[in-house]
Amino acid sequence: MEELLILVDQHDRKKGCAPKLQAHQQGLLHRAFSIFIFDHAGRLLLQQRAFGKYHSQGLWTNTCCGHPRPGERTMAAAKRRLQEEMGMTCSLRKVSTLLYREQVSNQLIEHEFDHVFVGISDRDPIANPEEAHAWQWLTLSQICERIAAAPESFTFWFRRILQTTGPVGISAWKELAETRRQAGPFS
């Protein structure tokens, strides 16, 4: 059975559902999330998307991305996908949203209302090879250098988030995740 995505308006209000492939073929606005996991040294965990993915294969991106299922809360979906893709669990904190529309590979269009979550973990992932081909921890300055040298090696949404937020803003996200972690899981 094909995965269903939650279609939304520009304010993230649910409008219905559509099959995942149809949503990406027609560029239908849908709810999504992006996860950024940092270690205590401030490095960000990147993944290289598996080569079997139906778009953006082999490109480097943030720790994890996905879509909530109909009836599933976005935070719960983010935690589920972090476990499914990277074999990780940690507290997550929502830090931002981003609306974008961009053509990706295979004539598909990503049109997403993206919820951005951050977390802290010092454990290496146990990546699902069907989702992530490789992974690595990098500093934000290393990431910016690599994007400047070879932007086509990174997903457009990851580049867009970095461009929109900037390294200083993304560093602040790490601090927010630390604050959440120190305050405890129920704060």
64 is catalytic: no
Which residue among the candidates 2, 3, 64, 65 is catalytic per the annotation?
Answer: 65
Indicate the annotated binding residues: 24, 30, 67, 85, 110, 112
Contact between 39 and 3 under an 8 Å Cβ cutoff? The reply is no
Would you give the DSSP letter of residue 124?
Answer: P
Which residue among the candidates 64, 90, 112, 131 is catalytic per the annotation?
Answer: 112
Q: Which residues touch 101 (CB under 8 Å, ≥6 apart)?
A: 27, 29, 109, 110, 111, 112
84 is catalytic: no
Kindly compute the dihedral angle of the four CA atoms of residues 98, 102, 106, 107, in this order, to the nearest 10 degrees: 130
Cα separation, 39 vs 45, whole angstroms? 8
Indicate the annotated binding residues for Mn(2+): 24, 30, 67, 110, 112
Helices 140-149 and 156-183: crossing angle in degrees, nearest 10, is 180
Q: Which helix (H) or strand (E) holds 169?
A: helix 156-183
Indicate the annotated binding residues for Mg(2+): 85
Q: Which residues touch 79 (CB under 8 Å, ≥6 apart)?
A: 89, 92
Contact between 100 and 158 under an 8 Å Cβ cutoff? The reply is no
Catalytic residues: 65, 112
